[in-house]
Chain A
Amino acid sequence: MVESRLTRALLRLGAGFTLFFIYFPLIVIALYAFNGNVTQRWPIEDWSTKWFPVAFENQGVRDALKHSVMAGLGATAIALVLGTLASTAISRYRFFGREIVTFAVILPIALPGIVTGLALQATIKDVLGPFGVKFGLATIVIGHATFCVVVVYNNVLARLRRTSGSLDEASADLGADNWQTFRYVMFPQMRTALLAGGLLAFALSFDEIIVTIFTSGAIQTLPIWMYATLFRPTELPIVNVVALFVILVSIIPVYFAQKLAGDTGVAGSTAQAAPAATQEDATP
């Protein structure tokens, strides 16, 4: 399609505005991390990195970071196991209710976090409470896992759909039992998809706040600590430093996940295949 120069200019302007709209506030908060004053005022007058060591030494920040990492790792681990199982079952077997399972796995990302949070809180407190279950790290992990499963599931399923459907049949045909087929054929096929899904799941868990509020009890993750500390003006500079840190921790996994998801995991590239294909005639 040929657009007029005006259309092209307008489209570029629109795209530029959208990016600006998304990233300008992030840039503002990132720059505030370098604000030497205790009070926030734009534009920044006193540039400094003096809050970085302060934030690093802060016990509240350290504890919250530890909790966030543990919750993220726990939720990611659960998501990897359940997501792999669900996607393998869906891609491999035709069974009654297959569509419903797909829908049920994906639904949690669409559900409002506050509803998920309320539901989890009620379940943990009223149903599981009498059995001795208390709010804490474990309940955060479970809460986060509900929406982390879907990113692993989606990544792995997309990979399985792209790989040849007869690979597992070929493996079984050559004498491999189900475990050997998984270990030598299916797992290597989905390895990068699992890594991508795991990174995304971790990033999702790391900055989650709503579900966390309802499932954390007295434990503070990094976002909860930030939210709680926001109202103490003297600690605001530390919050800004932490915010910059959280932005980086969220962006990096997403960046790598996207690179991995693009990689098919299928050996070689078309660039490699092309010269080799021309050698067909050289075969004796």
Chain B
Amino acid sequence: MAPDGAPHIRIAGLTKTYGDVVAVDGIDLEVRAGEFFTMLGPSGSGKTTTLRMIAGFEIPDSGVIELAGEDVSRLPPYDRPVNTVFQDYALFPHMTVQQNVEYGLMVKKVRKGERRERAEQALGMVQLTGYGARKPAQLSGGQRQRVALARAIVNRPKVLLLDEPLGALDLKLRQEMQIELKSIQREVGITFVYVTHDQEEALTMSDRVAVFNHGRIEQVGPPADVYEHPQSEFIAGFVGVSNVLERDGRRLTVRPEKINLLEDGREPQPGWHVEPGVIRDVQYVGPVTRYHVTLDRGGELQVLAQNLEEGSSQVLEAKGRRTRVEWRPGQESVIDEEGGTE
């Protein structure tokens, strides 16, 4: 195992095209050992293709994939020390849960006693003790998802690849599984590479996030960095709400919850950036209210305000009023022009 902090997966110049479509366009990436690393992006952004190349289901046109220092770019899937949790789970329908979980050990000729023991341990980890004799068709979606997870981690892979594993679950179950996945990852210490198009999922679970767009990575960093300081207009919009303004020839973005609406007669806080505008629209969302403010200097901002005391009727009356917005200097991120011209 690679020492802590050293790259565990190293990807360099990875490219994959299908006919005229460039799915992955020269990606460089390093994932550390034991990290929960998320590849986030809209569909067709190249995140799943990248995952499939790490797994070995696709062979890159060019570029290198190294796992713990070993070049695996051209190895077949069964010779790679990685396992995958598939979006549709891909459980073997003719086998029991126990047989599914033991499969990887069975084909590698691990003896029966050890196989049984490790499979039961893995099923215990996903809280499915006692479900071994069932067939996948007898399980709910959430349970199948857990079996798929157990079937992968029982092999103790160096890297676990997860391809939108929670996509088919309903919201409540998905949120439960997010917490559980994260705790399982801490428990087993395996490097997780997680693909999702759900920005909230990415921000909640990951140690670091890579944001994919058009086959390239636009930004890599801890969730807070990516969210608070998006480096491109695309990221500003995809990871959160696109609040982009043009001021003094620069394009910048501010997160809606960082902006304060100044009440009439109140003095702005010293040194803060202030702009006048008109409240074009108001949406009451329960815990918060979302204001759409058209600024006099051009552009529009969304402002998120916590509903500390207001009721919905008071809040909605604000529509059409003149107002001023203010934010602390440094809360805005300047979007680099290259990324912004997308």
Contacts and interface: CB of A to CB of B under 8 A. Distances in A.
Contact of B107 (A164, A167, A180, A273): A180
Contact of B90 (A169, A267, A276, A284): A169
A163 B92 CA distance: 10
B151 interface: yes
A173 B75 CA distance: 12
A175 B108 CA distance: 7
A180 B91 CA distance: 16
Contacts of B142: 280, 283
B137 A171 contact: no
A266 B95 CA distance: 10
B137 A269 contact: yes
Contacts of A280: 140, 142-143
B261 interface: no
Interface stretch (B76-84, B224-232, B296-304): B76-84
A265 B93 CA distance: 8
Contacts of B84: 169-170, 173
Contacts, number: 104
A272 interface: yes
B83 A268 contact: no
B137 to A, nearest CB: 3
A280 B138 CA distance: 11
Interface in A254-284: 265-270, 272-273, 276-277, 279-280, 283-284
A173 B78 contact: yes
Interface in A158-199: 163-164, 166-167, 169-177, 180, 184-185, 188-189
Contacts of A164: 88, 90
Contacts of A177: 76, 78, 107
B57 interface: yes
B127 A277 contact: no
By secondary structure, the B interface counts as loop
B148 to A, nearest CB: 8
B104 interface: yes
B234 interface: no
B94 A175 contact: no
B83 A173 contact: yes
Contacts of B168: none
A224 to B, nearest CB: 42
Nearest to A183: B107
Interface string B56-80: 1100000000000000000011100
Contact of A184 (B57, B103, B151): B103
Contacts of B136: 267-268
Nearest to B135: A267
Interface in B46-63: 55-57
A283 B77 contact: no
B88 A277 contact: no
Given A173-B55, A184-B103, A276 B92 contact: no
Nearest to B101: A174
A188 B103 CA distance: 14
Given A171-B103, A174-B107, A283 B137 contact: no
B155 interface: yes
Contact of A276 (B93, B128, B138, B152): B138
A172 B128 CA distance: 24
B139 interface: yes
B134 interface: yes
Contacts of A171: 92, 103, 107
A38 to B, nearest CB: 56
A265 B95 CA distance: 11
Given A172-B76, A173-B55, A276 B151 contact: no
Contacts of B78: 172-177
B44 to A, nearest CB: 19
Contacts of A180: 107
B103 A276 contact: no
Given A172-B77, A173-B77, A175-B155, A167 B92 contact: yes
A175 B104 contact: yes
Residue from A166, A170, A174, A189 whose CB has the most chain B CB atoms within 10 Å: A174
A267 B103 CA distance: 17
A166 B56 CA distance: 13
A174 B88 contact: no
Contact of B137 (A172, A189, A268): A268
A23 B16 CA distance: 59
Contacts of B128: 283
Interface of A: 163-164, 166-167, 169-177, 180, 184-185, 188-189, 265-270, 272-273, 276-277, 279-280, 283-284
16 contacts: A167-B92, A169-B77, A170-B92, A171-B103, A173-B56, A174-B103, A174-B104, A177-B78, A189-B93, A266-B94, A267-B93, A267-B137, A268-B135, A272-B135, A276-B134, A279-B140
Given A174-B152, A266-B93, 6 more contacts: A167-B90, A170-B92, A174-B78, A175-B104, A185-B92, A268-B136
3 pairs of A and B residues whose beta carbons are closest in the complex: A268-B137, A174-B104, A170-B90
